[in-house]
Structure 1
């Protein structure tokens, strides 16, 4: 790999899986955990800009150059949390670390912190604490089987194009166009786009990876989560980080949110409640039965409870950003992050 100056690549054997990671600097440890359909290289551009810290960006299970091991979705994001713990132990890191989690990884770092001490938590447009898709505002699933969430909701053309290694632009479901439309603001031109496309194409595609398996459902829209793969791990059937509120020693929290995020949003058009309300998916049973998921409101409510229970929460909204403000508003995101870390050390 042709890495940025100051960034190095390595692989470590843990007692769970073999993990590839990027590393830079020295000092207090910051671990940056990527989200779905991405790798540690989505943080590479940030790493040289954090002098005074040892920054690690691992490729998580199912993605990048780490061992292509399947994800047990019934554990939610605990496979990732436990892999992260094994990764740190393999590197001999025992002191609490600063954790950064983008999107899917928001749930993983929260689950890590629910079981282990951490120095701080930084969320970048995290998945709702109640999972992705098919919940009422209070987090209650719309149906007991969590219909409308999980692996069956993935677009089959996107899955096939990932499997085929498509780097082009001739389909809206080519990963290059998906990134342009969803990962950052539309007017942002990503200078490392070719690198990031190649990174996503390292994804483990199939039932154990992306998107995961699916089961039929008698409830609308006719599909329910399976038991393997990343999208099922994100289903409200298994994904739950509401217990962060109950952690005795509460690490300080930074929540950075792109106001133009189309992935994690109130009424995201990637979620069946919003698609049904818009008439895109027929047979919608109505808002009382299956409302669009208010993801941002759910995150805000959870963090307000965390603060009320004694935790420290800082929220920064990036008005012009999409799902990745660390990508399309890099300078400001770094300034906010450095300011957040400074008093913690």
Structure 2
């Protein structure tokens, strides 16, 4: 259903672009705006991973510098049928994580030091599985296409604002809505595109939760992690994310101020909704597993849960 919903939202965004483009700039203006937005997002698609990791001062780790985390990601990637991604750690007290990369062969997953301190081993495995689900679903590609169309609509809207304010009789002759109508389009079209873009982002988060739970084999691991992250991101600000809010949708938890409901303008679903969906994947008789989870840091003591399914060893061994 999430794939169908994402497809319908993309179709709606494309239809909105076509309608706005024809009203404002005709076929020629629509094509120019699409090419301009496409060029910007193709560059971002090929370079966003390195740019984002550099912006966050991420440090790549390996079997020598972070053996347990790297072994965990390796086991989860094998479980998901993915090549081993690069693993990064970010010195940031806010507990969070994200995945980036244009395809599974060039993917990277990153976790903050705050996340490593807050969550136990099982919960970290759930978070890393969620990020690998984004890689498996090629969500970077989906969001790049979305950003291309939304960016083209914004470019057309800027033209409409200029034409409405300075076009005079010319804008009225070319557009039946007149100058005021052009200004209204300039305001409402980007707002509509942003609403659809955020809806697609929320849909991809729900799907990554579901597939991530399947990858690690324990939906309650991720549910417990999300519960802690929801509190952690509100208690500890992420100033780097605040300075670059355009990347907020990439994190597992919104690093900016959150909402209590699935707001139209929110990049992430409400945490309570996400946790409820994950719990619904587990029979009620099995939800006693949550009580056996450890609540100390990830490197203290032995995990109390069983190992991941279909694997002979635990991801942290």
Q: What is the TM-score normalised by the length of structure 2?
A: 0.29
Greater helix share, structure number: 2
Larger radius of gyration: 2
More relative contact order, 1 or 2 (CA 8 Å, 6+ apart): 2
Greater strand share, structure number: 1
